[in-house]
C-alpha cells in the first residue's frame, strides 16, 4: 500500500478528517483520565524544522513520548541539509531509519519533493503555503465548544497566508462558510480560492466578513520569512485588527481563534485575545491531541 503523507488537509478524505477530530477528543479524555496508551512503542519520529517553533515542536515531541515512542529534533544548522545535501537524499536516508518525518520549511514544493522520496509518512509542520496541523486543532476546538462546524460561518481577517489557505481547504472539507477579509495585495492564492469557491469567498471588508460570524480567526501580519516587510504590512493591515468593536459584529457567542504567536496591538487587541470570546489556549493545547490522532492514523 502506498505510504500516506499529510502535506495538506486534502491528503485525507472528509470522512477520515471527521474520524480524526473525534479521535483527538477521545485521546484528550484518555490522557486526562491518566490512561496509559502507547501505540507507538519503539517508533521514532524525526522533526526537521527550518523555521522557529514552540507549539508544533513541543506538541509533536510530547505526542510521541506519550505514545511510547521517541523523537529526534533536527535543525538545518546541525545536519547536512544545511550544507546543501539534497532534500531527496535526506528523505531517502531518514526514511530508512525513522517511522515518520515532520517537516517545517519555506517552499511547499520542497516539502513535496521530500515526501516524494520518503518511504515513511511525511507531515507538514508548516510551509509558506499551508499549515494543516493547526487546522486539525482549530476544528477540534470548535467542535468541543460548539459542536459540528458544518454550515457555520467563519471569518478570516488578515493576510491570505498559509493559515488562510488551510482554512480554505478546511471550509471545503468540513463544509463551513469562510469569508475572507484581506487587504488588496494580500489575497490568498487565486487557484485555491477558485477550487474552494463553493465554501469560501473574498469579501475584503472585515466588518462584512465578521457580521454574524460563529468564529473569527486572524494571524500575524508578517509571517516567518517576511520580517523585512513588517513596517509596510503594519501600514497595509492597519484597518484589519480584530478588536472589541469588530468582534461585536459577530454572533454574541462567537469564538475567537489565533494559531499563535500573537502580536497584541497589531492583528488582535489584548481585550479580544485575553477576553471572553477567545479560545486560543485550548486551541494551542489541542495541537497535542489532534496530532496524536494524526500520528495514530498514519502509523498504526
Ligand atoms: N501555531 C504554531 O504553529 O506555533 P509554533 O510556530 O510555535 O509552532
Ligand atoms: N502565518 C504564520 C503562522 C505561524 C504559526 C507564519 O507562517 O509565520
Catalytic residues: 104, 131, 134, 219, 259, 287
> For residues 288 and 134, what is the distance between their CA atoms, to the nearest angstrom?
10
* The Cα angle at residue 214 between residues 211 and 217, in degrees rounded to 5: 85
- Is 76 a residue whose pLDDT tops 90? no
Query: pLDDT tens across 109-158, in order?
Result: 999 999 999 999 999 999 999 999 999 999 999 999 999 999 999 999 99
Which residues, at least 6 apart from 98, have a Cβ–Cβ distance to it below 8 Å?
A: 44, 45, 46, 72, 120
Q: What pLDDT was estimated at residue 293?
A: 99
Specify the DSSP element, H or E, that contains 184.
none
Query: pLDDT tens across 253-283, in order?
Result: 999 999 999 999 999 999 999 999 999 999 9
Report the nearest-CA residue for atom 4 of ligand 1: 55
Pocket of ligand 1 (CB under 6 A): 53-56, 126, 134, 259-260
Task: Give me the chain's average pLDDT, please.
Answer: 98
Give me the count of residues in the chain: 300
DSSP H helices, the chain, are 14-32, 55-66, 87-94, 108-116, 132-146, 162-174, 190-195, 206-210, 230-236, 244-247, 270-273, 280-299
Instruction: Report the nearest atom of ligand 2 relative to the CA of 126.
Output: 7
Q: What pLDDT was estimated at residue 62?
A: 98
> For residues 187 and 189, what is the distance between their CA atoms, to the nearest angstrom?
6
Query: pLDDT tens across 150-191, in order?
Result: 999 999 999 999 999 999 999 999 999 999 999 999 999 999
Report the nearest-CA residue for atom 7 of ligand 1: 54
All three cell numbers of 195, joined, read: 477550487
Nearest-ligand number for the alpha carbon of 54: 1
Q: Pick the closest to residue 146 from 274, 236, 38, 277 (CA basis).
A: 277
Residue 107 CB neighbours (<10 A): 11
Mean of pLDDT values over 75-82: 91
Query: pLDDT tens across 27-58, in order?
Result: 999 999 999 999 999 999 999 999 999 999 99
Query: pLDDT tens across 84-113, in order?
Result: 999 999 999 999 999 999 999 999 999 999
Q: What pLDDT was estimated at residue 115?
A: 98
Query: pLDDT tens across 230-251, in order?
Result: 999 999 999 999 999 999 999 9
Phi, psi of 165 (to 5 degrees): -60, -45
DSSP state string for 95-136:
TTT-SEEEEE-S-HHHHHHHHHT-SS-EEES--SS--HHHHH
Any ligand 2 atom below 6 A from CB of 125: no
Is residue 1 very low, low, confident or very high in pLDDT (cuts 50, 70, 90)?
confident
Q: What pLDDT was estimated at residue 277?
A: 98
Q: What pLDDT was estimated at residue 98?
A: 98
Nearest-ligand number for the alpha carbon of 124: 1
Amino acid at each position: 500500500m502506498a505510504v500516506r503523507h499529510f502535506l495538506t488537509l486534502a491528503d485525507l478524505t472528509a470522512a477520515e478528517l471527521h474520524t480524526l477530530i473525534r479521535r483527538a477528543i477521545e485521546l484528550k479524555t484518555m490522557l486526562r483520565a491518566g490512561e496509559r496508551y502507547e501505540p507507538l512503542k519503539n517508533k521514532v519520529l524525526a522533526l526537521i524544522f527550518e523555521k522557529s517553533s514552540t507549539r508544533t515542536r513541543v506538541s509533536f515531541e510530547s505526542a510521541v513520548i506519550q505514545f511510547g515512542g521517541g523523537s529526534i529534533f533536527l535543525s538545518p544548522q546541525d545536519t547536512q541539509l544545511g550544507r546543501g545535501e539534497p532534500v531527496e537524499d535526506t528523505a531517502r536516508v531518514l526514511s530508512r531509519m525513522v517511522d515518520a518525518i515532520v517537516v517545517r520549511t519555506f517552499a511547499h514544493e520542497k516539502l513535496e519533493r521530500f515526501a516524494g522520496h520518503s518511504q515513511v509518512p511525511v507531515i507538514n509542520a508548516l510551509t509558506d503555503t499551508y499549515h494543516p496541523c493547526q487546522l486539525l486543532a482549530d476544528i477540534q476546538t470548535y467542535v468541543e465548544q460548539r459542536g459540528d462546524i458544518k454550515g457555520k460561518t467563519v471569518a478570516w481577517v488578515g493576510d491570505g497566508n498559509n493559515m488562510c489557505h488551510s482554512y480554505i481547504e478546511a471550509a471545503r472539507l468540513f463544509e463551513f462558510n469562510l469569508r475572507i477579509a484581506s487587504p488588496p495585495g494580500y489575497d490568498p492564492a487565486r487557484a485555491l480560492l477558485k477550487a474552494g469557491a463553493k465554501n469560501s469567498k473574498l469579501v475584503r471588508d472585515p466588518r462584512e466578513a465578521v457580521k454574524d460570524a460563529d468564529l473569527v480567526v486572524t494571524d500575524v501580519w508578517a509571517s516567518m520569512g517576511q520580517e523585512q516587510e513588517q513596517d509596510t504590512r503594519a501600514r497595509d493591515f492597519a484597518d484589519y485588527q480584530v478588536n472589541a468593536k469588530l468582534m461585536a459584529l459577530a454572533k454574541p457567542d462567537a469564538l475567537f481563534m489565533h494559531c499563535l504567536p500573537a502580536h497584541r496591538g497589531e492583528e488582535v487587541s489584548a481585550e479580544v485575545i485575553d477576553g471572553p470570546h477567545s479560545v486560543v489556549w485550548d486551541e494551542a493545547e489541542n495541537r497535542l491531541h489532534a496530532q496524536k490522532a494524526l500520528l495514530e492514523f498514519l502509523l498504526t
